[in-house]
Amino acid sequence: MKVDELRALSPTELEKQLEAAHQELFDLRFRVTTKQLVNHREIVRVQKDIARMKTIMRERELEISS
């Protein structure tokens, strides 16, 4: 997802997306282990998506506290 799309989500929707991304990452890692994953770049893409989501969540947390 793009940053603008993530920023438009509510905090609960963002948490659901983060949980889904973690599940997808788990599934991709499982597929790598069983040698069923063809495109290994998918793992990096999901990791970056997770990092984006966590960054936005942290930004919102800091806005509230200041």
pLDDT digits (tens, 9 = 90+) for 3-61: 999 999 999 999 999 999 999 999 999 999 999 999 999 999 999 999 999 999 999 99
Higher pLDDT, 65 or 14: 14
DSSP string covering the chain: --HHHHHTS-HHHHHHHHHHHHHHHHHHHHHHHTT--S-THHHHHHHHHHHHHHHHHHHHHHHHH-
For residue 66, what pLDDT band results from cuts at 50, 70 and 90? confident
CATH number at residue 43: 1.10.287.310
Alpha-carbon distance of 7 to 44, in angstroms, equals 21
Answer whether residue 1 shows pLDDT above 80. no
Number of domains forming the structure of the chain: 1
List the domain range (segments joined by +) for residue 31.
3-65
Higher pLDDT, 42 or 2: 42
pLDDT at 8: 95
